[in-house]
Amino acid sequence: MSRELPHLPVTEVLPVLQRALEERGKAVLVAPPGAGKTTLVPLALLDADWASTGRIVLLEPRRLAARAAARRMAALLGEEPGETVGYAMRMERRLSPRTRILVVTEGVLARMIVEDPELSGISAVLFDEFHERSLDGDFALALALDAQAALRPDLRLLVMSATLDGARVASLLGDAPVIESEGRSFPVETRYRERPAQEPIEDAMARAIREVLAEEEGSVLAFLPGQREIERTAERLADRLPKDVDITPLYGGLEGKAQDAAIRPPATGRRKVVLATAIAETSVTIDGVRVVIDSGLSRLPKFEPATGLTRLETVRVSRASADQRAGRAGRTAPGIALRLWRAEQTAALPAFTPPEILDADLSGLLLDCAAFGVADPASLAFLDPPPPAALAEARALLARLGALDGTGRLTPEGAAMRKLALPVRLAHMVSVAARRGHGQAAADLAVLLSERGLGGNAVDLDERLQRFRRERGTRAEQARSLAIRLAKSAGGDRGASVPQAGALLIHAWPDRVAKARGAFGRFVLANGRGGVLAAEERLAGAAYLVVADLQGRAENARIASAAAIAEEEIFGALGDDIEESIESGFDRERGSLRQRKVRRLGAIVFSTQAMPSPSGVEADRALVEAVRANGLSLLPWDKETEALRGRLGWLHHAKGKPWPDMSDEALTAHLEDWLQPFLTGESSLAKLKPTSLREGLVSLVPHEYQRRLKTFAPTHYDAPSGSHVPIRYEAEGPVLAIRVQELFGLKTHPSIAEGIPLKLELLSPAHRPIQTTLDLPGFWAGSWADVRADMRGRYPKHVWPDDPANAAATHRAKPRGT
């Protein structure tokens, strides 16, 4: 078919691109914003001989971009969408038998390939804006490459992007040719205005918008991380802008008509301020925009395998995203990009946005792979392979939901879930509900949860469901139509009664059943997380909830959406998962074991019943575990036992094996060897005698060495005065604290264990230290004179001889009258 197409920069490379696809069957096109790749390339390929056998499918990462691309191409042909050019997305389709170019969103393409691996009636697949690296986009390309290699060698594949590591993608495509196009954009002046660290982004953005509107002509496109920040910024701008300026939001949760209104040119004589998320980064030209203001922030999904939660995390944008955003200002005229950070901070931004596959819940991907006949997704050609840990978590979840069997194959339940085109947990909920006659109620709830912005923003999902069912507007009607189709696909008759949301939701998130605890509005979830509701929320006083969404990483994250549920409904739905067990614990204050029968679901305890304390071998094992958990301080150490431990510990330090290690770590690691054999089956440590502890410690010494203990590490030293003085054992060596008069007459330094010297702490008559020495003869001959001079004045009633080495030892003062 002959048609006149506008001449854009990408026009120059179209012959090369057509030849590459004709000869190689795949290619990579790198073209900056404004080059015309999204609209001109699919239209130009229609005339290729190979394109006459089937449709060209253009993959767009977002619904807004898909609708806009289809409308733009249809307008170039003088048609409406649904004729030569059509589009298909989750809640909206415009196509006919005449459609030769079909623009789809990513999830749609992946399902097309899984359900028809040969892609019958499709001649080419074009992946637009591939640099966004969404999970669906990566998966769809991997499936398409597999289909091309195994079943459809005639299938053409083209990967297109404005900012992309072309060589890396070309390698994935089997060294496909990389074709680069110049861009068509006007000069963009980049300015920087740092936002103070403590200033909310909404305040900084509103101020910047007011200033540029006063200084510059044209419309403004402002990038903010999410809907919440967009609404707050709009509130700060209300009634504070020139009268010729309109404010239009642009984010994923808006109706299609509202999104389309945001990208339309402003009316004659008016300007607009578009407050947008990253949805406006690529594929969409907003006519009239001369100024882009970039917050430098974006909101990305992060999956936490430990909790099964996907949370949205606000992060710094990548350099590639910042460049894409700035480029929006130069699409139709010279423009300005104002960045709300310091210029030098740009170099510290990551080069590209991290691929979603590295931080995503992979359960849907794994389910689709099983339907595709691929047991291990890592065997597909991914640019970044899925992380093994995330795959293992996804596999475990699908097994719990009954979607995969022990070999990883799709079960009938898994096949039923796949038919529903929902996240796996919601698909399981609808599948289970349909079998019980509640398919429509569950489908309504599933659509409400998977399509942002429906039914308002109340935390209580029962309240949101009621609003959704009454809501007017195209998007609400499309959503309800989708729910009807899902319910029909799930099968099952509509029940006479409509269950509450909690009774449905529990089949999607049994691990997020929550029980009230402590303060009003605080809950503990079965998965161990804590959640909190504001006191004014109606659900704050509920005994039990099922939580659909938590926001925040703290121990008490904010519950964003939930539904109440009765305890009997929990037992009815999860009876097989509720455990009844006998749990033993240790009461540290009483020093004894306690035992109770507990009914629990994960971290939630439904009931406890006191039981008789354990005895015998069971008690001995439990006490050992109590000591391991709480530390050796639980044991009844007395001075004699502490001294024995010190002696053995010093021998281990001084001589090594076979003398046992007496450190806390070593003794704790071997409790079964030295403590448990000397327990008596009692449930209380108070009944354990210190003599049993000493016997246990000695048992760690080989029998033939036990007799040497007194010789190598005696408990006391027999002083020349006749006193029996205790020896203190430390890691550095044995210490003897003794009054200096008791060592008079001693000409050699005291030692033990075949010559190891005692460290002497020489004491005054008042038992205060006066000297520390490892050389007693040297002390007598050296510093004794100074010590004697000092001590004689303080303690005149005691003996202070000139020659202590030859004086008589004593532990008494001088007799009266001497």
**Tens of pLDDT along 609-667?**
888 888 888 888 888 988 998 899 989 999 999 999 999 999 998 888 999 999 999 99
Cα(517)–Cα(515) distance, integer angstroms = 6
Contact 202, 236 (CB under 8 A): yes
Residue 743 neighbours by CB distance under 10 Å: 25
pLDDT of 161-193, one tens digit each?
877 678 889 999 999 999 999 876 688 999 999
pLDDT of residue 309: 64
Burial class for 523, CB neighbours closer than 10 Å (0-12, 13-18, 19+)? buried
Cα(355)–Cα(532) distance, integer angstroms = 32
How far CA 576 is from CA of 78, 308, 737, in Å, comes to: 62, 20, 67
How far CA 531 is from CA of 511, 524, 553, 605, 705, in Å, comes to: 13, 6, 10, 16, 59
Cα(263)–Cα(280) distance, integer angstroms = 9
Mean pLDDT of 564-577: 94
**Three-state SS at 387:** coil
Which of 358-362, 441-445, 449-453, 572-576 is predicted with the least confidence, judged by mean pLDDT?
449-453
pLDDT of residue 221: 95
* Residue from 517, 543, 539 nearest 530 by CA: 517
What does the buried/exposed string (b/e) look like for 161-170 if buried means 16 or more CB atoms within 10 Å of the residue's CB? Answer: bbbbbbeebb
| pLDDT of 281 over the 90 cut | no
Q: Which amino acid is at 817?
A: G
CATH, range 9-180: 3.40.50.300
Res. 280 pLDDT band, cuts 50 70 90: confident
pLDDT of residue 579: 92
Query: Two tokens at 572?
Result: 């009815």
Q: Phi first, then psi: what are they for 298, rounded to 5°?
A: -145, 160
Per mean pLDDT, which of 171-185, 291-305, 543-557, 654-668 is the most reliable? 654-668
Res. 283 pLDDT band, cuts 50 70 90: low
Torsion from C-alpha of 483, 487, 488, 489, nearest 10 degrees:
100
* Residues with Cβ within 8 Å of residue 488, at least 6 apart in sequence: none
| pLDDT of 734 over the 70 cut | yes
* Residues with Cβ within 8 Å of residue 357, at least 6 apart in sequence: 133, 135, 138, 139, 365, 382, 384, 386, 387
Cα(772)–Cα(779) distance, integer angstroms = 9
Percentage, residues of the chain above pLDDT 70? 96
What residues are paired with 598 via a beta bridge? 581, 608
pLDDT of residue 34: 76
pLDDT of 57-93, one tens digit each?
999 988 888 988 999 999 999 999 999 999 999 888 9
Mean pLDDT of 451-464: 90
* Residue from 536, 513, 507 nearest 526 by CA: 513
| pLDDT of 52 over the 50 cut | yes
pLDDT of residue 78: 93
pLDDT of 107-165, one tens digit each?
889 889 999 999 999 999 999 989 888 899 999 999 999 999 999 999 999 999 877 67
pLDDT of residue 64: 84
Cα(22)–Cα(47) distance, integer angstroms = 12
Q: Which amino acid is at 431?
A: S
Contact 32, 182 (CB under 8 A): yes
Cα(193)–Cα(315) distance, integer angstroms = 19
pLDDT of residue 3: 63
Cα(682)–Cα(614) distance, integer angstroms = 8
Cα(744)–Cα(755) distance, integer angstroms = 21
Rg (CA), the chain: 39
Angle of helix 363-372 versus helix 106-115 axis, rounded to 10? 30
26-30 and 530-532 as β-strands: parallel, antiparallel, unpaired? unpaired
Cα(504)–Cα(489) distance, integer angstroms = 18
What residues are paired with 756 via a beta bridge? 752
Which of 491-495, 535-539, 577-581 is predicted with the least confidence, judged by mean pLDDT?
491-495
Which of 176-190, 240-254, 580-594 is predicted with the least confidence, judged by mean pLDDT?
580-594
Res. 516 pLDDT band, cuts 50 70 90: very high
What does the angle CA 489 – CA 492 – CA 493 come to, to the nearest 5 degrees?
A: 120
Q: Where are the beta strands (DSSP E) in 648-723?
A: 716-718
pLDDT of residue 818: 54
pLDDT of residue 641: 95
Q: Which amino acid is at 7?
A: H
Res. 496 pLDDT band, cuts 50 70 90: low
Query: Two tokens at 183?
Result: 């861009």
Cα(30)–Cα(7) distance, integer angstroms = 18
pLDDT of residue 791: 92
pLDDT of residue 749: 96
Cα(543)–Cα(533) distance, integer angstroms = 13
Mean pLDDT of 34-51: 92
The CATH class of the 188-357 domain is alpha beta
Rounded to whole angstroms, the maximal C-alpha distance in the chain is 136
Give residue limits of the domains in the chain. 9-180, 188-357, 419-577, 632-708, 716-806
**Claim: this prediction has a pTM higher than 0.85:** no
pLDDT of residue 366: 95
Cα(394)–Cα(400) distance, integer angstroms = 10
Mean pLDDT of 602-610: 91
Write down the residue that tokens 């009266």 correspond to: 816
pLDDT of residue 1: 47
Query: Two tokens at 642?
Result: 């502490």
Contact 593, 614 (CB under 8 A): yes
* Residue from 49, 52, 5, 37 nearest 126 by CA: 37
Q: Where are the beta strands (DSSP E) in 84-223?
A: 85-89, 92-94, 101-105, 122-127, 156-161, 178-180, 188-192, 219-223
Cα(460)–Cα(501) distance, integer angstroms = 9
pLDDT of residue 306: 60
Per mean pLDDT, which of 30-34, 237-241, 778-782 is the most reliable? 778-782
The reply to whether domains 9-180 and 188-357 share a CATH topology is yes
Write down the residue that tokens 């039990």 correspond to: 544
Burial class for 747, CB neighbours closer than 10 Å (0-12, 13-18, 19+)? exposed
Mean pLDDT of 722-745: 92
Mean pLDDT of 309-320: 82
**Mean pLDDT rounded to a whole number for the chain:** 90
Residue with more model confidence, 205 or 711: 205
Cis, peptide link before residue 32, omega less than 30° from 0: no
530-532 and 522-525 as β-strands: parallel, antiparallel, unpaired? antiparallel
pLDDT of residue 699: 95
Cα(670)–Cα(125) distance, integer angstroms = 65
Per DSSP, the chain holds a count of helices (H) and strands (E) of 28, 31
HSE value, Cβ hemisphere, 13 Å, CA-based, for 333: 12
Mean pLDDT of 508-532: 92
Q: Which amino acid is at 226?
A: G
